[in-house]
Amino acid sequence: MFGKLIIKWIMLASNLVAAFFMLLTLLGTVISPEIWIIPAYFTLVFPIIVIINIGFVIFWLLVRKWIFLISLSLLLFSNAQINNTYPIRIGKRDSVLPENSISILSFNTMGCGELKKHTKKKPNKVLKYILDADADIVCLQEYAISDSNEHLTTADINRIFVKYPYKHVQFKSMQGNSRYGIATFSKYPIVFKKKIEYPASFNSSIFTDIKIKGTTIRLINNHLESNRITYQDKAMPLILKDKFDTENLTGITLHFSRKLGVAYKLRAFQANAVAKVIEDSPHKVIVCGDFNDVPASYAYTKVKGNLKDAFSEAGKGFGWTFNDRFYHFRIDYILYDSDAFSVMDYKSDKVDFSDHYPVMCRLNMNFLSESE
């Protein structure tokens, strides 16, 4: 009897800790890391926290204790975050007339496939994928060109992307003969373009007003602050497999928290700037790009606002877009104004041309359907 009582109190204490972690994650979606950084770290492990709390709900139901309400209430309150992280899709979406739709591709290209030339015999896999996808609008992050003819040049891009006569390119940094930045290519006319001003040494955001069949939409392309996690950093947790002790655990935790903390705060500031552009937009908006943060994060929540997430509406599973041997996260997004658009389909091809998977969706332009 005494043993069962001890187990009960241990389980209750553990449940309260798990519930507290869930609460911190929820706070992390709405409290800027500039104000309080700790909840931001918990958003990274949100799926694990959800699974643990589901486990406690099942446990307390099996032993017939009302304590299951603690975790259940938080899970219900987290419904939006759970759906953004792991949507469950049953059946197929209704098809819509293709003439009233546009396709959007967003792709962190890892320096346009490391600036490799593109020829028929030796194609640049990144550029070939973009051409084969044949999207109406293409949003590229880590877009790069070189001033050296040995590598990919502006002239090469103009020749290869002839099907995209309109473009908006914003370079942010220079490394040797190469320039890096962000780019939006369109089959439809671009009528206005502007950079979103915020502090960053490498990352950037731009907005591009595009006229489609007489209506102007605003396309916002983002590459929010990177975490600057190197391959050496990513391998550090493997040390714990061979030597798990307090000193190693503390050292690795502090190392990651310092790196992530700086990035979280910068991303929060950048997300606020992007959200302001969305709020002030005179046009309906589509937001694309590499946010470098997960669906439960402040940056994602702030930028998303009242927009819809194409993956949450038409995807399923975790939908990981960061392609790394150690870590998997969904950090690349296509968001849209639900008053003007509705998603028809979504896909993310698991290709290894970059450290990110491309994301693509087709949006029905509701404003055209309504005017007919």
Residues 27, 102 within the same domain? no
- Is 267 domain-assigned? yes
Cα 89 to Cα 311, 314, 318: the distances in Å are 10, 7, 12
Among 29, 57, 85, which residue terminates a domain? 85
- Residue 151's pLDDT is what? 96
Parts of the chain with a pLDDT under 50: 372
- Is 187 domain-assigned? yes
Residues 54, 104 within the same domain? no
Eight-state DSSP code of residue 330: -
The candidate with the shortest Cα–Cα distance to 115, out of 104, 130, 107, 126, is 126
- Residue 64's pLDDT is what? 85
- Is 91 domain-assigned? no
| Domains of the chain: total | 2
Q: How many alpha carbons fall within 13 Å on the CB side of residue 202?
A: 12
- Is 241 domain-assigned? yes
Q: Measured between alpha carbons, how far is 221 from 223 in angstroms, rounded to an integer?
A: 7
| pLDDT digits 0-9 by tens, 243-298 | 555 655 566 667 667 778 899 999 999 999 999 999 999 999 999 999 999 999 99
Residues 11, 106 within the same domain? no
Residues 225, 150 within the same domain? yes
- Residue 326's pLDDT is what? 74
CATH number at residue 172: 3.60.10.10
- Is 90 domain-assigned? no
**In this structure, which amino acid lies at residue 92?**
K
Residues 34, 118 within the same domain? no
Residues 352, 253 within the same domain? yes
Residues 64, 103 within the same domain? no
Among 23, 51, 85, which residue terminates a domain? 85
Contact 173, 202 (CB under 8 A): yes
Residues 143, 176 within the same domain? yes
pTM of the model: 0.93
Full domain range(s) for residue 10: 2-85
- Residue 246's pLDDT is what? 62
- Is 56 domain-assigned? yes
- Residue 255's pLDDT is what? 62
The candidate with the shortest Cα–Cα distance to 344, out of 361, 367, 332, is 361
Residues 169, 145 within the same domain? yes
Residues 228, 125 within the same domain? yes
- Is 225 domain-assigned? yes
Helix/strand number for the chain, H first, E second: 14, 12
Residues 216, 73 within the same domain? no
343: buried, middle or exposed (CB in 10 Å: 19+, 13-18, 0-12)?
buried
**DSSP result, 247-295:** HHHHHHHHHHHHHHHHHHHHHHHHHHHHHHHHHH-SSEEEEEEE-SS-T
Query: Residues near 19 by Cβ (< 8 Å), separated by ≥ 6?
Result: 53, 56, 70, 71, 74
Among 85, 109, 132, which residue terminates a domain? 85
- Is 338 domain-assigned? yes
Residues 188, 281 within the same domain? yes
Contact 123, 165 (CB under 8 A): no
Cα 291 to Cα 118, 226, 237, 271: the distances in Å are 28, 8, 24, 9
